[in-house]
Chains A and B, each alone.
Chain A
């Protein structure tokens, strides 16, 4: 069975970055896991799980922190009609459950 990203990484969190953005931080924990994740995790896979065009993702690979950051404009502005997650904090779970290929 393929490994889940959340099982491999030290910590994955998501949060609002102001009312119009959500940002997801993937802390891999060390260089080895960082190198594995950076290679295996592609933008298409993340975009598909968020149901967004890959071009709308802003990705920052940060080897010095063994971290990958993904930011995207909120599909629904924080707290507006239809928003399900005021703090955007549960998006991390979708990323944790991605299978590494």
Chain B
């Protein structure tokens, strides 16, 4: 048989063609799957358990998908709810779902799949040697684990299928691999396992595998021999090149994909054009792992930040800006100690020169000068109050500090007031590990609610 997976977009909140969605609904999808998150925008979203995308936009798009689901009576799955997939963000999607159900007078059976992990459990895995580091190896310790504000495990297809098996109309998944939701039903239906994973990887970003990424909608059809991927919008096309090139996207190894329960190898796959919008893929293979593992993601606080931005157009200062910043930095470090008794180990202070090498730092190759530069100061310290106070201390010097002692006091341009901006708590990713578990549901939790 064939299992049809409708993917409306690469992520909820990014937009998709409503016309294409309606067109795809005519093609008899068996399930609608959309991603809700990624680590791609950095550690703050996992660190705080908050969303990157606008709630209003997510709600508007989710409403369209709930209507689509209802019209066909098929399941709708969102994985990695609210960017990071923390428990708080599964509940955030549940709240949005409840609101829409009320507005539309729908009564779906909603299953939430939670994937957040207690630091104590991860600590126990470290102690019992069931936690393994991935390349590149990063340091891990009891302190680092305990300092994580959130740790999530990435669910695979098995946990999502458990949720679907509860008769779910809608499944709200915490953190999961990008592919898991898309391949869960096809594999449960007995379709080709490797083709299901491979097709899921190709379709996980929606129309990114087509010639028109912003159209969003694609249809993945998996059968017992392989899969086809179809662009849906009238102005979107799939070619063997556009499809096979997507294996490279955000993937360090273009041939392999390590998933909970095994590894996909797509090196020998063949890509054949069926028509302008459809490509057929066969020939990938799946190796089942000896142990079932789930990948972990963690984020921990690294203090609080305050920034400042000064704009410099004075050609004398633009020309000598690196020297100026070096001198300013040394002066501030010295004065913070001398006048406020704030030692260098209580903060970090960094200036980046926009218009010179702010993007690449030491890797920058261009030396010719710009007519203006921005100097972005970033201070990180143990509390917001201290970071703010350090930057307030720096403020008049960022505005007025002379290049040498022998020249008049300059004044630069502050683009807004107050010049300093409290950025709040800052986070870093701190786990690059997999955890061995005895069976897939061991560290995941399900909750059912009939709306």
Using a CB–CB distance below 8 Å, which chain A residues touch chain B? 15-21, 23, 25, 27, 49-51, 58, 60, 62, 64-65, 67, 69, 71, 73, 77-82, 84-87, 90, 94, 97
B359 contacts across to A, CB distance below 8 A: 84-85, 90
- From B41, B251, B380, name the one whose CB has the most chain A CB atoms within 10 angstroms: B251
Please tell me if B40 contacts chain A, counting CB pairs below 8 Å. Answer: yes
Residue pair B43, A27 in contact (C-beta under 8 Å):
no
Residue pair B429, A19 in contact (C-beta under 8 Å):
yes
A31 CB, min distance to chain B CBs, angstroms: 13
* Assembled-state Cα–Cα distance A82/B224 (Å): 49
30 A-B pairs whose Cβ atoms sit less than 8 Å apart in the complex: A15-B250, A16-B40, A17-B252, A18-B39, A18-B252, A20-B429, A21-B252, A23-B248, A23-B250, A23-B252, A25-B245, A51-B363, A60-B253, A62-B254, A65-B245, A67-B245, A69-B248, A71-B253, A79-B43, A80-B43, A82-B350, A84-B352, A84-B361, A85-B359, A87-B41, A90-B359, A90-B360, A94-B360, A94-B363, A94-B365
Residue pair A19, B362 in contact (C-beta under 8 Å):
no
* Assembled-state Cα–Cα distance A86/B380 (Å): 17
A79 CB, min distance to chain B CBs, angstroms: 4
Number of A-B contacts (CB under 8 A): 96
Residue pair A60, B254 in contact (C-beta under 8 Å):
yes
Using a CB–CB distance below 8 Å, which chain B residues touch chain A? 39-44, 134-136, 138, 241, 244-245, 248-255, 297, 302, 348, 350, 352, 358-363, 365, 380, 427-429, 432
A101 CB, min distance to chain B CBs, angstroms: 15
Residue pair A71, B362 in contact (C-beta under 8 Å):
no
B249 contacts across to A, CB distance below 8 A: 15, 25
* Assembled-state Cα–Cα distance A79/B40 (Å): 10
Residue pair B241, A78 in contact (C-beta under 8 Å):
no
- From A17, A18, A23, A25, name the one whose CB has the most chain B CB atoms within 10 angstroms: A18
B380 contacts across to A, CB distance below 8 A: 81
Closest 3 pairs (CB-CB, A-B): A79-B42, A73-B136, A71-B252
B360 contacts across to A, CB distance below 8 A: 84, 90, 94
B41 contacts across to A, CB distance below 8 A: 86-87
* Assembled-state Cα–Cα distance A94/B364 (Å): 8
* Assembled-state Cα–Cα distance A79/B350 (Å): 15
* Assembled-state Cα–Cα distance A67/B249 (Å): 12
Partner of A81, one of B250, B253, B302: B302
A6 CB, min distance to chain B CBs, angstroms: 13
Residue pair A79, B44 in contact (C-beta under 8 Å):
yes
B297 contacts across to A, CB distance below 8 A: 19
B244 contacts across to A, CB distance below 8 A: 64-65
B369 CB, min distance to chain A CBs, angstroms: 17
Residue pair B245, A19 in contact (C-beta under 8 Å):
no
* Assembled-state Cα–Cα distance A16/B248 (Å): 11
Residue pair A81, B42 in contact (C-beta under 8 Å):
no
A81 contacts across to B, CB distance below 8 A: 302, 348, 380, 428
A51 contacts across to B, CB distance below 8 A: 362-363
A71 contacts across to B, CB distance below 8 A: 252-253
Residue pair B427, A79 in contact (C-beta under 8 Å):
yes
Residue pair A19, B248 in contact (C-beta under 8 Å):
no
B43 contacts across to A, CB distance below 8 A: 19, 78-80
Residue pair B136, A20 in contact (C-beta under 8 Å):
yes
- From A25, A49, A65, A97, name the one whose CB has the most chain B CB atoms within 10 angstroms: A65
* Assembled-state Cα–Cα distance A60/B254 (Å): 8
The residue on B at minimum CB distance from A80 is B428
* Assembled-state Cα–Cα distance A77/B144 (Å): 15
* Assembled-state Cα–Cα distance A97/B364 (Å): 11
- From B135, B138, B250, B348, name the one whose CB has the most chain A CB atoms within 10 angstroms: B250
B138 contacts across to A, CB distance below 8 A: 20, 77
B252 contacts across to A, CB distance below 8 A: 17-18, 21, 23, 58, 71
Instruction: A21-B252, A87-B40 given; name 9 further pairs at CB < 8 Å.
Output: A18-B39, A27-B245, A49-B363, A67-B248, A77-B138, A79-B42, A80-B43, A80-B428, A82-B350
* Assembled-state Cα–Cα distance A16/B39 (Å): 9
B345 CB, min distance to chain A CBs, angstroms: 14
Known: A23-B248, A23-B250, A71-B252. A78 touches B42 (CB 8 A): yes
The residue on B at minimum CB distance from A87 is B40
* Assembled-state Cα–Cα distance A86/B39 (Å): 10
A19 contacts across to B, CB distance below 8 A: 39, 43, 297, 429, 432
Residue pair A65, B241 in contact (C-beta under 8 Å):
yes
B251 contacts across to A, CB distance below 8 A: 17, 23
Residue pair B302, A77 in contact (C-beta under 8 Å):
no
B44 contacts across to A, CB distance below 8 A: 79
Partner of B42, one of A15, A62, A86, A94: A86
